[in-house]
């Protein structure tokens, strides 16, 4: 069973806290970012992320559940049509909280909570994609080994040519390899012609 949050509630009563969070979520979806206290931003984040997850599912049941929190139908429509499609590939982490310093009047710590607008990087891998990402480097490693083999092959040809040149200079008492002897004969014929 989920435990209630300890400490004082934002509005004094549970109903008032729900209303505050619903209004904050509505404004967040309407404007994309809002400036509020750090405590309210931290309490708003899980509510907003749950609503975005419901909007990503997109069916009528989830739309009705979101309408119980966000009362403005225009904001719900915006959430389901635009915001949900923006976060279609993102597995979570739809919001960002940035602390901006104390408020002038009462020195309350303030923060900006905003919807994340940057695309999901390939570096950020979700937990479900971790096995697939681990298997992905194997084909890349095979491509790298093929590329390395291609670069080594010309190096091997150069290495074969160098001993052939040395075979002409080698002393008579050291026997040359048969391949080197054949190459030396071919070069000698080319020089004569």
Q: What are 149-159's pLDDT values in tens digits?
A: 555 555 445 44
pLDDT tens per residue across span 81-138:
999 999 999 999 999 999 999 999 999 999 999 999 888 775 555 555 555 555 555 5
**What pLDDT sits at residue 130?**
54
**Domains, the chain, ordered by start:** 14-118 (3.90.1030.10), 137-192 (no CATH)
The whole-number average pLDDT for the span 68-86 is 95
b/e for 16-40, b at 16 or more Cβ within 10 A? Answer: ebeebbbebbbbbbeeeebebebeb
Helices and strands in the chain, H and E counts: 8, 3
pLDDT, greater one: 155 or 10: 10
Q: What is the largest CA-CA distance in the chain?
A: 106
**What pLDDT sits at residue 94?**
95
Provide the token pair at 138: 């194997």
Mean pLDDT of the chain: 79
Instruction: Name the pLDDT band for 165 (thresholds 50, 70, 90).
Output: very low
- pTM beyond 0.85: the answer is no
- Cα–Cα distance measured from residue 167 to residue 172, given in angstroms and rounded to the nearest whole number: 10
pLDDT tens per residue across span 169-180:
544 555 556 666
pLDDT, greater one: 178 or 30: 30
């Amino acid at each position: 069973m989920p435990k209630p949050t300890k400490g004082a509630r934002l509005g004094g009563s549970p109903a008032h806290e729900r209303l505050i969070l619903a209004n904050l979520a509505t404004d967040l979806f309407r404007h994309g970012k809002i400036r509020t206290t750090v405590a309210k931003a931290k309490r708003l984040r899980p509510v907003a992320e749950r609503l975005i997850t419901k909007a990503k599912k997109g069916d009528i049941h989830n739309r009705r559940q979101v309408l119980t929190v966000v009362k403005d139908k225009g904001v719900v429509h915006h959430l389901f049509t635009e915001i949900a499609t923006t976060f279609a590939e993102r597995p979570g982490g739809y919001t960002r909280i940035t602390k901006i310093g104390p408020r002038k009047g009462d020195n309350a710590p303030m923060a900006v909570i905003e919807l994340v607008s940057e695309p999901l990087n390939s570096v950020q891998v979700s937990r479900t994609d971790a096995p697939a990402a681990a298997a992905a480097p194997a084909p890349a490693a095979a491509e790298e080994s093929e590329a390395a083999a291609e670069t080594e092959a010309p190096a091997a040809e150069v290495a074969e040519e160098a001993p052939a040149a040395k075979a002409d200079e080698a002393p008579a008492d050291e026997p040359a390899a048969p391949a080197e002897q054949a190459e030396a004969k071919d070069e000698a014929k080319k020089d004569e012609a």
